[in-house]
């Protein structure tokens, strides 16, 4: 468990002992000692000083305040930082920002994290944007967000709310950011942060991928809005890879928590199959949509010469038009992408059908419905296992239609 407990008295006593150690080391340096150890002693003195400074930092940290005051102090740190509209630009050029210690404190203590995240989310996207775009260390932001939505420790409803809030803040960024603030903006750093956050969204969504659609009721969500959000999250290459990688573990997890009755188990298998169908179709569609966008951008670029006053004769103008059409046609990969993504989807579903079949068998064993050595498999259990494979492989069509709406 990621919790920080602090005993201020113990910290003060430890700090006092370090102070004494420092005095001894200082005296030691003032006496004639062998040249070889002078450097070692100076380094030790530096380390004592650094450790003492860190303990002083903990003793003056908001972590020592009671939870409501701690949340208020951290929130006001965020508010002070974003009060100046230059913060967006400054976050791209500075080595550290006041948001860094806030993220560190949230990472160090689960109760601080939960209290602050929930209070920030209740107040629109602005403060959350400050955490996501204002912290200089993306690894800490990633760790914080993944822990805050980890299926092993976070309630599904809470995870959904947090994923939706982070997605809203990431997608709102171009509109919320001041375009011209007067401070230097490192465009490359901002692009990197956008990419990192889009991939992070994919990582946060991956373990919950089936909950966006077929299992939406299990995290208090709506399948239609879940479908739209998953589509938006997956519409980024790195995020789509993360979401696709999440399918196998998500199916295995979904079968770990099956109801006891036969009819209920069959219904749950249908829900899982529906979710797999919708998710794989969404992944196919974002691939195809990206190819369409690229083709239309290319066509627009290639049409530019035709609009320029080049003073070409009518035949030369015709030739230029024909040439650009040929180039556009050669570069157009839409058909190839459609074929490739349809094949990938088919292969994915076959592979996932095997995963579902094995997971259904394992669930039956774990729930005591059959023996591990499969010497005796009751008829209804055999139906469930077969249905898991068939439903994911074939009945995913229902998910297709839903994803296409």
Partner 1 sequence: MPSPNASPALPDLIEARVSIVDAQRILDQSRCHGPVIESLSRELAHLAGRLRSIEETWFE
Q: Is 153 in the site for partner 1 (CB under 8 A)?
A: no
- Could you say which DSSP state residue 370 is in? S
Shortest distance, CB of residue 1 to partner 1, whole angstroms?
Answer: 10
CA distance to 30, 111, 114, 216, per residue, from 2 (Å): 44, 9, 12, 28
What whole-number distance in Å separates Cα of residue 184 and Cα of residue 211?
Answer: 41
Question: For residues 12 and 184, which CB has a smaller minimum distance to partner 1 in the complex?
Answer: 12
The region, left, alpha or beta by phi > 0 then psi within -120 to 50, assigned to residue 61 is beta
Write down the least CB distance from residue 219 to partner 1, Å: 29
DSSP 257: G
Letters for 99-138 (x = contact with partner 1 by CB under 8 A, - = none) are: ---------xx-----------------------------
Window of 34-42, 64-72, 308-316, 370-378 that interacts with partner 1 by CB under 8 A = 34-42
Task: Please identify which residue in 3, 76, 225, 296 interacts with partner 1, judged by CB under 8 A.
Answer: 3
Q: Look at the block and give the residue holding tokens 């039956």.
A: 364
What gap in Å lies between CA 210 and CA 250, rounded to an integer? 7
Nearer of residues 100 and 338 to partner 1, judged by Cβ: 100
Q: Decide: 144 and 114 in contact? Cβ < 8 Å.
A: no
Q: How many residues form the binding site for partner 1 (CB under 8 A)?
A: 39
Between residues 48 and 197, which has the closer beta carbon with respect to partner 1? 48
CA-atom Rg of the chain in angstroms:
29
Query: In whole angstroms, how far apart are CA 142 and each of 70, 103, 137, 155, 245?
Result: 22, 10, 9, 19, 17
In whole angstroms, how close is the CB of 173 to partner 1 at the nearest point?
30
Instruction: Give the residue with the Cβ less far from partner 1, 30 or 180.
Output: 30
Nearest Cα neighbor of 60 from 72, 50, 73, 47 is: 73
* 18 lies in the site for partner 1, by CB under 8 A: yes
Select from 399, 172, 152 the least CA-distant residue to 270.
Answer: 399
Closest distance to partner 1 from the beta carbon of 10 (Å):
3
In the complex, the smallest distance separating the C-beta of residue 59 from partner 1, rounded to whole angstroms, is: 11
Query: What value, to the nearest 5°, has the Cα angle with vertex 233 and ends 232 and 239?
Result: 140
Can residue 150 be called a binding residue for partner 1 (CB under 8 A)?
no
Q: Cβ closer to partner 1: 19 or 293?
A: 19
Sign of the alpha-carbon torsion through 234, 225, 403, 217: positive
Residue 333 found at the interface with partner 1 (CB under 8 A): no
Q: Which of 160, 255, 273, 170 is nearest to 208 (CA)?
A: 160
Q: Are 205 and 146 in contact (CB under 8 A)?
A: no
For partner 1, the closer CB: 17 or 85: 17
User: Are the CB atoms for 160 and 219 separated by under 8 Å?
Assistant: yes
Helix ranges (H only) for 206-236 are 223-234
Place of tokens 């991928």: 209
| Residues 239, 181 contacting (CB under 8 angstroms) | no
Stretch that binds partner 1, among 26-34, 118-126, 244-252, 311-319 (CB under 8 A): 26-34
Contact pattern for partner 1 over residues 169 through 208, marking x by CB under 8 A? ----------------------------------------
From 42, 47, 322, 374, residue interacting with partner 1 (rule: CB under 8 A): 47
Query: What does the alpha-carbon distance between residue 24 and residue 56 come to, in Å, rounded to a whole number?
Result: 20
Rounded least distance, CB 21 to partner 1, Å? 4
- Segment 48 to 77, residues that bind partner 1, using CB under 8 A: 48, 51, 54-55, 58
Given the rule CB under 8 A, which of 22-30, 164-172, 338-346, 372-380 is the region that contacts partner 1? 22-30
- Residue 35: CB minimum distance to partner 1, A: 9
- Least CB distance to partner 1 at residue 142 (A): 16
Cα(302)–Cα(323) distance, rounded to whole angstroms?
10
Provide, rounded to whole angstroms, the least separation between the CB of residue 196 and partner 1. Answer: 23
**Cα distance between residue 266 and residue 39, in whole Å:** 72
CB of 151 to partner 1, least distance (A): 22
Binding residues among 358-377 for partner 1 as defined by CB under 8 A: none
Residues making contact with partner 1 (CB under 8 A): 2-7, 9-11, 13-15, 17-18, 20-22, 24-25, 27-28, 31-34, 36-37, 40-41, 43-44, 47-48, 51, 54-55, 58, 108-109
């Amino acid at each position: 468990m990621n919790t920080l407990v602090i005993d201020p008295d113990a910290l003060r006593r430890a700090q006092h002992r370090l102070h004494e150690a420092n005095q001894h080391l200082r005296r030691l340096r003032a006496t004639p000692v062998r040249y070889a150890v002078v450097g070692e002693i100076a380094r030790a003195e530096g380390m004592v000083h650094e450790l003492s400074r860190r303990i002083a930092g903990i003793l003056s940290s908001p972590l020592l305040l009671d939870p409501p005051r701690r949340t208020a102090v951290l929130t006001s740190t965020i508010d002070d930082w974003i009060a100046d509209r230059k913060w967006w630009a400054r976050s791209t050029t500075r080595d550290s920002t006041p948001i860094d210690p806030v993220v560190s404190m949230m990472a160090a203590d689960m109760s601080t994290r939960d209290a602050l995240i929930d209070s920030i989310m209740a107040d629109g996207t602005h403060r959350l944007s400050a955490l996501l775009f204002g912290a200089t260390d993306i690894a800490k932001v990633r760790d914080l967000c993944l822990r805050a939505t980890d299926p092993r420790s976070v309630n599904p409803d809470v995870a959904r709310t947090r994923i939706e809030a982070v997605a809203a803040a990431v997608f709102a960024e171009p509109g919320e950011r001041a375009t011209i603030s007067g401070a230097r903006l490192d465009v490359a750093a901002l692009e990197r942060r956008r990419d990192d956050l889009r991939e992070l969204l994919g990582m946060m969504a991956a373990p919950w991928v089936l909950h966006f659609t077929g299992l939406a009721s299990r995290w208090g969500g709506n399948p239609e809005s879940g479908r739209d959000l998953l589509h938006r999250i997956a519409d980024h290459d790195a995020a789509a890879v993360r979401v696709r990688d999440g399918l196998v573990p998500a199916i295995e997890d979904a079968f770990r928590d099956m109801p006891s009755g036969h009819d209920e188990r069959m219904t749950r298998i249908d829900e899982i199959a529906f979710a797999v169908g919708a998710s794989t179709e969404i992944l196919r569609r974002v691939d195809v949509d990206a190819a369409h966008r690229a083709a239309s951008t290319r066509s627009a670029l290639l049409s530019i010469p035709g609009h320029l006053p080049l003073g070409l004769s009518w035949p030369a103008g015709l030739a230029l038009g024909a040439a650009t059409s040929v180039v556009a046609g050669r570069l157009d990969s839409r058909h190839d992408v459609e074929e490739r993504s349809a094949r990938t989807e088919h292969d994915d579903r076959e592979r996932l059908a095997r995963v579902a079949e094995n997971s259904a068998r394992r669930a039956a064993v774990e729930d005591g419905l059959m023996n591990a050595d499969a010497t005796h498999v009751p008829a209804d259990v055999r139906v469930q296992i077969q249905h898991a494979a068939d439903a994911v492989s074939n009945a995913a069509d229902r998910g297709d239609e839903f994803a296409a709406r």
